[in-house]
Structure 1
Amino acid sequence: MAGLYLHIPFCSSKCPYCSFVSFPGMEQVMPRYARAVESELATLVRQEQETPIETVFAGGGTPTILPTELLIPLFDAIRKKFSLAAEAEISIEANPGTVTRESLARLRQAGINRISLGIQSFNDSELGKLGRRYRTGVARQAVMAAKAAGFDNLSIDLIYGVPGQSPATWRQTLEESLSYVPQHLSCYQLTIEDGTPFAEMMERGDLDLPGEEDIEMMDEMTVEVCRSAGLRHYEISNFARPGRECRHNINYWRNGDYYAVGSGAVSCISGRRQRRTEDPVAYCRMVENGRSPVIEEENLDRETSFRESVVIGMRMLTGISRADLVARYGMDVQDCYGGLLDRLQDGGLVELSPTHLRLTDYGRRVANTVLAELV
C-alpha cells in the first residue's frame, strides 16, 4: 500500500511564518494548473499500474482556495485512475474564509472523508499577528460548516508559541477547539523559518515570542487538556481519538511509499525520492510539453534510508520497532548508532527497550536536538 499527495500551491495571502510552497494572487493560473495536475496523474498511473492507494492527502497552500469545479474533478480522476483501498482515507486541508457549507457538502459528496481545518487560533489578536485574513467568527463558522456537511473525521490545526501569546490564551484556544469534539487535533509549536518575515522580525528584535517557561507550560497543558478530552497523544504534535489518527501521515512517519503530484510536491517510492519544480507556471509548462516536472532525484542507500526511518519514526510516541527495522534493513539501531544511544539514554532523552527505541517525555520537549544527533 502507498499514499498519494496532491499539492495545491495557491493561497489568499502568504503568512509571515510560512515557508511552504505557496503563492497568493495566482487565480488566473488555477484552471491551467488543475489540467496539468490531471495530466501528471494520468502519467503516474501509466508508470505505476496496479499500485493500491490507501491514503490521499490534498495539502498546500490552501487546497480549498481552488474552486470546487476545479478541485472535485481531481479527486474524481484519482478514483477513476487509481486502485483505491475500500476504506481509503481521503483528506483535504482547508482554511476558514475559503469554504462554505455548500462547498464543503460538495467535497464530502465527492468522497473526501477527512478534513483538516487550519484554524491556528481562536484569538483575534493572535490571528492578526499570524497574518491570517479571517477572525474567530469566520473560524467558528468553518468548523460548524464542516460538521453540517457530514465530515465525521474532523481535524483542527493550531499553532502555539505565537507572538504575544500566554498560557491562558492558549488554553482558551485549546478548550474552544475541543468543545467542537473534533476527532483529531494538531498542535504545532511556531518555528521561525529562514527567509520568512518572522525571521527578519526576529533578527531586528521585533518579535515578542513567549519565553521558554511559558512554552513548557503550554506543552504540558496541551497533553493534559487533550487527554482529558479523550484524545490520545500519538505523535509529537498530534492527538486523536482511537482509530482516528491520520493514516496518511503515519505512513510518512513510518517511511512508507508515497506518490505525489503538483508543483513542489515530493514523492518517495522504494527509496527513490523526487522533487517537482515549485513554480506553478513552470510546472504547467513542463507537463504541457510532455516533460517530467521532476527537477531533483535522489536514490537513498540502505543506511540513509535506515536513519531516515529512525528519525521520522521517533516522532511517534510508540517510537521505532526494532524488529521492523531489522526485517526491512537487516540492521538494528545498536548496529548503526552504538555509543550514541548510550549517551542519549544517560541524558534521559531516549528509551531503548528490547522491542522499541523511543523518545522520553523530556526528549520530546527537545526533539529537534535529539533527532539531529540521529540523522
Structure 2
Amino acid sequence: MNDLSLAARLAAEPYSAYSYSYPHKLAYQPLAQAQPLHALWLPEKRDALFLYIHIPFCEMRCGFCNLFTLAKPDAALPGRYVAKVLVQMAVVAEQLGSHGIARFAMGGGTPSYLPLNLLATLLEGAQRHFGLDLQSTPASVEVSPETASAEKLQFLKQQGVDRISIGIQSFLEHETRQLIRPQPNRQAHAALERIRAAGFATLNLDLIYGIAGQTRQSFAASLAEALRWQPEEIYLYPLYVRPLTGLGQIEGRSGRAYPRIAVADATGEDKAALYQTGRDHLLAAGYQQLSMRLFRRPGAPGKAAPVYCCQEDGMVGLGSGARSYTRALHYSTEYAVGRPSTQSLIEHYCDTPIEAFASAHYGIVLDADERRRRFVIQSLLIRPGLDLDAYRQRFEGADALADLPLLTALVEAGLASLDGARLSLSDAGLALSDSIGPALISDAVRQRMQAREAQLC
C-alpha cells in the first residue's frame, strides 16, 4: 500500500468509530469461567487506581445517545440501585486488598439525576470502602443542565469534587431540537452560572458537530458562546447516528440517511469542515489540542495528586454497565441500548447476590497482541503520542513499528511523525483519529464486535 492509498483510504471514511477504549465494549462476551477478582487483581499495580461509578439514569434520552442509561426510571429504582452499589463496593474493596485511588469519577447516564441523599450515600461509601480522599484526589462528576441544582453543586464542591462535565451540545435551540434534546438556552446558561458560582476548578463543556442543518457559522456561534464561560476543557464530539438511538430509529423508519450537513456556501462540506472550524476557533482562543476531541485551556488549575496512567494503572468500575480493566482482562456487566433491555439489566444488577460481585463473569481476555494494540491506540490518539521506549520496556524489547506496520505507513503518508522515540500524529493525522483507531483493531476483536452489534440490532 503506498502513501497516497493509505491517506485516501483513511480520509474516505474519517468518521468510522470513536476509539476511546480498547477493546471496545461490543467485544465483551460471557466468560467461559468466572474469574475471582482477588486472583485477577493480585498481580496488578494497585497503588494508583481509577475508581468509576456508573449511574444509568437520566431525565431524558437524547436522540444521539447510545450509552447504558434509562430515562425516567421508576421512582424506587435509583434507591435500590445505589443500595446495591454499596454492596458491590464492600465486596470489591475486600477483593482488591491493599490499594490506592489516584482518580475518581461518576458518569452515566447523569449522576446529578440522583437526589442529594443518594449522591451523598455513594460518595460516603467510596470514601469508607476505598479510602478515597476527595479533597486531594482529582474527582469528576457529570451533570446535565436540567439536574445541576445549586444545592447538588455546592455539596459536590464541599466534598472535594474539582471537575464538573456538562453536555450542552449546542447553544442554538433549533440544533438541540434536531438532536431530540429540547433544551432552552436559558436553562443551559443558568446551569453554567450555577457551576461557575460553585467554584469548581475545572469546567468541561461538550459540544457536538454534524447536526442536521448545522453550518460552519452556526457552529462558530456555539463555540463563541461556550468560550464566554471560559471552560478549562472543551470536548468537540462528531455526531454518530447509531441504529438503536432515537435518531437511528427515525432514520430507520424513514428509510433514508440522517441528512447531510448544510453549509452556508453550499459546497457540500461535512463534518471534516466543521471539525476544522472548531479546531481553528479554539486554537485561536489559546486552547491546546490534546486529541481530536479534547481542547484544554493552558494554566487551568488542578490537584497535585498521584498521576494515573491508563497504560500502567487499572480501573475499577462499580454499578451496572461499568467496566473494569486489568492488564489481562477487561470485564463488566452486560450492555444494552434499547429501553426494555437496559431496564432488565439494571433490575438484574439490583437483584445480584452478594457473592456474585467477587468474580468477573463478562468481558474479554487480552492476549499479548491485544495488550500491545491497546497500548498503541491509547497512546497514539492523544498528544504527545506513543512513547516507543515505554512500549519496548513494557513488552520486553518489542518494537511497536515492527509489531504494527501501519504505524510506519502513517509516517510515510505524513499522518504521523517520529521525533526520537516519540511517534505523534500530525494535525492531519489527528483529524483522522476516528479512522486510524479502527484501522488498528485486530481481526478477532472486529469479528466479536460485529457479532455483538448484529445481536443488539
- TM-score surpassing 0.5? yes
Q: Which residue of 2 aligns with 1:225?
A: 281
Q: Which residue of 2 aligns with 1:332?
A: 399
Structure 2: distance between partners of 1:142 and 1:225: 24
Structure 2: distance between partners of 1:245 and 1:172: 27
Q: 1:122 to 1:255 in 2, by over 3 A?
A: farther
The correspondence for 2:298, drawn from 242, 246, 258, is 242
The correspondence for 1:291, drawn from 342, 350, 356, is 356
Structure 2: distance between partners of 1:266 and 1:305: 17
User: SS at 1:168's partner residue?
Assistant: helix
Q: Which residue of 2 aligns with 1:19?
A: 66
User: Is residue 158 of structure 1 aligned with residue 210 of structure 2?
Assistant: no
Structure 2: distance between partners of 1:314 and 1:39: 38
Q: Which residue of 2 aligns with 1:205?
A: 256
Q: Which whole-Å deviations, capped at 9, do the CAs of 1:98-156 have from their partners, x for residues lacking one?
A: 12112211121122111001111101011111122422110000000011112121111
How many positions carry a matched residue from both structures?
A: 372
Amino acid of the residue matched to residue 176 of structure 1? Answer: E
Query: Displacement, 1:90?
Result: 0.7
Give the strand-richer structure, 1 or 2: 1
Query: Displacement, 1:245?
Result: 9.5
Q: 1:55 to 1:111 in 2, by over 3 A?
A: same
Q: Which residue of 2 aligns with 1:3?
A: 50
Structure 1: distance between partners of 2:380 and 2:299: 20
- What are the equivalent positions in structure 2 for 1:73-84 lying under 5 Å apart? 73-84=121-132
User: Is residue 30 of structure 1 aligned with residue 95 of structure 2?
Assistant: no
Amino acid of the residue matched to residue 130 of structure 2? Answer: F
Structure 2: distance between partners of 1:270 and 1:254: 9
User: SS at 2:356's partner residue?
Assistant: coil
Structure 2: distance between partners of 1:55 and 1:282: 28
The correspondence for 2:136, drawn from 45, 69, 87, is 87
Q: Which residue of 1 aligns with 2:423?
A: 357
Query: Displacement, 1:313?
Result: 1.8
Q: Which residue of 1 aligns with 2:224?
A: 175
Q: Which residue of 2 aligns with 1:52?
A: 100
The answer (yes or no) to whether the contact 2:202–2:301 under 8 Å persists in 1 is no
Structure 1: distance between partners of 2:125 and 2:318: 13
The one of the two structures with greater contact order (alpha-carbon pairs below 8 A, sep at least 6) is 2
Amino acid of the residue matched to residue 336 of structure 1? Answer: D
Structure 2: distance between partners of 1:75 and 1:108: 12
The TM-score normalised by the length of structure 2 is 0.76
User: Is residue 265 of structure 1 aligned with residue 322 of structure 2?
Assistant: yes
Structure 1: distance between partners of 2:367 and 2:198: 46
Structure 1: distance between partners of 2:271 and 2:286: 23
User: SS at 1:92's partner residue?
Assistant: strand
Amino acid of the residue matched to residue 295 of structure 2? Answer: F
Structure 1: distance between partners of 2:328 and 2:308: 14
The answer (yes or no) to whether the contact 2:87–2:354 under 8 Å persists in 1 is no
User: SS at 2:148's partner residue?
Assistant: coil
Structure 2: distance between partners of 1:347 and 1:202: 36
Q: Which residue of 2 aligns with 1:100?
A: 149
The correspondence for 2:409, drawn from 343, 364, 367, is 343
The answer (yes or no) to whether the contact 1:166–1:214 under 8 Å persists in 2 is no
Amino acid of the residue matched to residue 429 of structure 2? Answer: G
Which segment is superposed worse, 148-157 or 260-269? 148-157
RMSD: 2.3
Structure 1: distance between partners of 2:242 and 2:434: 14
Amino acid of the residue matched to residue 245 of structure 2? Answer: T
User: SS at 1:370's partner residue?
Assistant: helix
Query: Displacement, 1:243?
Result: 5.8
Q: 1:124 to 1:347 in 2, by over 3 A?
A: same
The answer (yes or no) to whether the contact 1:255–1:313 under 8 Å persists in 2 is no
Q: Which residue of 2 aligns with 1:306?
A: 372
Structure 1: distance between partners of 2:114 and 2:321: 17
Q: Which whole-Å deviations, capped at 9, do the CAs of 1:68-125 have from their partners, x for residues lacking one?
A: 1101221121122223467311100000011211221112112211100111110101
Structure 2: distance between partners of 1:177 and 1:90: 23
Amino acid of the residue matched to residue 121 of structure 1? Answer: S
Q: 1:274 to 1:310 in 2, by over 3 A?
A: same
Query: Displacement, 1:341?
Result: 3.1
Q: 1:246 to 1:186 in 2, by over 3 A?
A: farther
Which segment is superposed worse, 84-93 or 116-125? 84-93
Structure 2: distance between partners of 1:357 and 1:206: 37
The gaps in structure 1 that reach 5 residues or longer are none
Query: Displacement, 1:374?
Result: 2.0
Which segment is superposed worse, 164-173 or 348-357? 348-357
Structure 2: distance between partners of 1:357 and 1:102: 46
User: SS at 2:53's partner residue?
Assistant: strand
Structure 1: distance between partners of 2:70 and 2:391: 39
User: SS at 1:145's partner residue?
Assistant: helix
Structure 2: distance between partners of 1:297 and 1:117: 29
Query: Displacement, 1:206?
Result: 5.6
The answer (yes or no) to whether the contact 1:120–1:159 under 8 Å persists in 2 is yes
Amino acid of the residue matched to residue 68 of structure 2? Answer: V
Q: 1:369 to 1:133 in 2, by over 3 A?
A: same
Q: 1:341 to 1:277 in 2, by over 3 A?
A: closer
Query: Displacement, 1:290?
Result: 3.3
The TM-score normalised by the length of structure 1 is 0.92
Question: Percent identity over the alignment?
Answer: 27
The answer (yes or no) to whether the contact 1:187–1:237 under 8 Å persists in 2 is yes
